[in-house]
Each structure stands twice: as C-alpha cells, then as structure tokens.
Chain A
C-alpha cells in the first residue's frame, strides 16, 4: 500500500519551484521564472498556493528601485518535500 501523493506538491510547476528552493537558501522570482520557464502569471499563482500551504515564505523588497520577490522554503515545506519523495519512492517500488 502507498499513501496518496501530496496534491500540493504533485503538480509540475509547484514541484519544480519547491525542488529549486530546497537546493538553495533563497531565490528571486525572476530566477524561478527563468528556470521553470513558466509565465509570470502562472508562477505567481503557484507561488501563492505554496505560500498558503505554509511551504514557502515570500518576501517583497526593492533592489535598485525595482521590486524584488524573494522565495524561501519553510521547515514545513522541507518536511512536506521529504515526505513527498519518500511516498514517491514507495509508489515507484510498488509499481515495480
């Protein structure tokens, strides 16, 4: 038996965002957009969903007079990601 995969993370763009944020301390919105190749609108919506779930922190600031959005994974996000990978592994093992 395997657990259902976390629906918040089991989405292409949200999983991509969390995978990047797990590897770094923090990343700018523009960086996430560049790496995920998502549109700004899509990315914004998915970031908000992750924020509402408590998986990421979003801080807004100004850098050289331009607005800057910095995203950072939270301890809850790390825990959810680890759990997701574990579930994914057991899911793949069951399928084999």
Chain B
C-alpha cells in the first residue's frame, strides 16, 4: 500500500469498508472451547445415565472429567492468546463471563455435594444458560442464543422428569448450547482461514 496516495471520496469509503471487513473476518472464534465443553458434558451425562442402570461405582468418577477439560481449556486459551494478533472490543467481557461461569459451576458442585442435593440438574442447567445466552446475545450468534434458551427450558422440564431421565437434559443442553454452535464456529473459522491463505 502506498503511503500518501490521494484518495477520492469513493475510494476512501471502499478502503474503510474493506479494512473493517478484513478485521471482522479475522476475528473468528476457533470454536474449540464450545466443542470441548459440549463433548465433555455429553460424555459425562451419557456415562452417568448408563451407570444408573449398570451401576459400576467407578463410573461415577466420570464427573471428574471436567477438571481435565479445565486444564486443556487453560492450555488452549494461553496458546490461542499468544497466536492472536488482535483483540476484539468484547474479549475482556466474554472472558470474564466464562471464567465466572467456571467458578460458579465448581461452587455449585461443592454445595450440591456438601448438602447432598438430589435432582440438581435443573440448577446446573440454569447456570449453563447464563453465559451461553449472553454470548449468543452479545455476538449476535443465534445458535448460542437458542442454546441458552434451551438450557432454561430443560431446567424447567427437569423438575417434572424422574431420575435418571433427567440426566439426558444435560446431554441435550450440552449439544444444543455448546457442541452444535461449536461445530458451526469451527466451520466458519476454517473457512475464514482458508480465505486468508
């Protein structure tokens, strides 16, 4: 690009719009986090549901899998932030929302175990809906917006559903709120990267 080329009005407008769309296209979520958490909760809930019938005590430990996922998430987030050459306007807000969601989920797990709360799926589903809906709303990303709403609908339905079927709401929520939106984000990211080559 020449440094001091005199632009016509039309050229200026075209340049502005081209640069804005370049920056917008480059700011793409990799979809990794959504896929990671969508898969983790799907696996945990399906194993938990199956274990309600096969009753193998060791399989209850599957709910420690999210701890492994947190470690993977931290590693990937650090790697992604090192690679990233730009920061979007809402990066800090989104980061804060998802970190507080992670902390709140662990706190809720603690209270559920501490007070031996049965049928806690509704509480977790209510919590899942908050960051998912917020992300969908803030980024105008409908799959997550509907995913968040689905979490809240499942939370209400769970109060009318007997154990162990209640666990399947967690599977459905993980798929609708994270896994499917994650696949869409991943596809968009790969497409944008291909276009940038």
Contact = CB atoms under 8 A, between A and B. Distances in A.
Interface residues of A, number: 33
Contact of B91 (A11, A25, A42): A25
Given A12-B4, A25-B87, A20 B22 contact: yes
A64 B82 contact: yes
What is the size category of the interface that chain B forms with chain A?
20 to 34
Interface in B68-88: 82, 85-88
Interface in A31-63: 31, 34-38, 42, 45-46, 63
Interface stretch (B10-18, B59-67, B162-170): B10-18
A11 B7 contact: yes
A10 B22 CA distance: 20
Nearest to B11: A12
B19 A26 contact: no
Contacts of B26: 31, 35
Contact of A24 (B10, B15, B18, B89): B89
B20 A19 contact: yes
B22 A22 contact: no
B2 interface: yes
Contacts of A30: 85
A19 B16 contact: yes
Nearest to A95: B9
Contact of B15 (A15, A25, A38): A15
B1 A36 contact: yes
A45 B2 CA distance: 12
A88 interface: yes
Interface of A: 5, 10-13, 15-16, 19-20, 22-28, 30-31, 34-38, 42, 45-46, 63-64, 85, 88, 91-92, 95
Interface of B: 1-7, 9-13, 15-16, 18-20, 22-24, 26-27, 82, 85-89, 91-92
